[in-house]
Amino acid sequence: MRLALIAKTGEMGYPSVLTAKTWGFYDVSFRGQPFKFQRSYGSYVMENVLFKISFPAEFHSQTAVEAAMTLHQQLRAAGKSADDIARIVIRTHEACIRIIDKKGPLNNPADRDHCIQYMVAVPLLFGRLTAADYEDAVAADPRIDALRDKITCVEDPQFTRDYHDPDKRSIANALTVTLNDGTVLPEVVVEYPIGHKRRRADGIPLLEAKFRTNLARRFPGKQQKAIADVSLDQSLLESMPVNDYVDLYVI
């Protein structure tokens, strides 16, 4: 930002900052190669923002948690519970395995919300995943670790390709549950989390509800309404000076 402001004043800057031999950015950091971009400059990033809406969980697990919630409901409908589970296979993408496939002891809430086995076990057991479920009081339940030990992650190469595909950017997980009696439940697949661009119709109402909930935690009713009225009216928001909008949040 500071450099941009300096440039706007007419300062010429350093024309060879990228291309200077030996000391230029290309030589130092890119082996002499110029920048290469997937696409021209535009609004791709803003259009593809991922909103964390449904669960307080590390993003690579969002779809796995959603699938676990579905399986919890299916088990209850069949008169079963997590106690009837023999094993679970999570078909997933490489980044998930690299970042949150975790065995062994989990030392604190941050450790737990970076363990896909934990984040799947809790909704299978309780039909929920909240911030409180990462705390010691819940984590002490021995059923969680027992269920974690039954969960295995395997990479699906197509899931990995779709994760990196700029036109998809899926974050897919698929859960297959085998019961103690040998019954294999139909695999539950969720490719895109609620907060993904491809699920805006599902996500926007929930995002708005989350926004209103958090406004209510901080501001009196009249101020909540003033903020929401502007924030949810695109034309009004775009016409308002930034400082006036920020002032709405001052108590």
Portion of the chain with pLDDT greater than 90, in percent: 88
Full-model pTM: 0.84
Angle at 147 between CA 142 and CA 153, to 5 degrees: 140
**Per-residue pLDDT tens for 110-161?**
999 999 999 999 999 999 999 999 999 999 999 999 999 999 999 999 999 9
Domain 59-197 belongs in CATH node 3.30.1330.120 = yes
- Of residues 152, 83, 75, 160, the one with CA closest to residue 116: 152
Q: Which residues contact 153 (CB under 8 A, 6 or more apart)?
A: 89, 90, 92, 96, 97, 101, 116
Q: Of 185, 186, 188, 151, give the one whose Cα is nearest residue 173.
A: 188
Instruction: Compute the C-alpha angle 141/146/152, nearest 5°.
Output: 135
First to last CA, the chain: 28
pLDDT score recorded for residue 17: 87
List every span in the chain annotated with CATH 3.30.1330.120: 59-197
Quote the pLDDT of residue 6. 73
Tokens of 15: 């024309």
Please check the confidence at residue 1 and state whether its pLDDT lies above 60. no
Residue 141: predicted pLDDT: 98
Q: How confident is the model at residue 67 (pLDDT cuts 50, 70, 90)?
A: very high
- Answer whether residue 12 shows pLDDT above 80: no
Q: 245-248: long-range contacts at Cβ-Cβ below 8 A with a sequence spacing of 24 or more?
A: 248/223
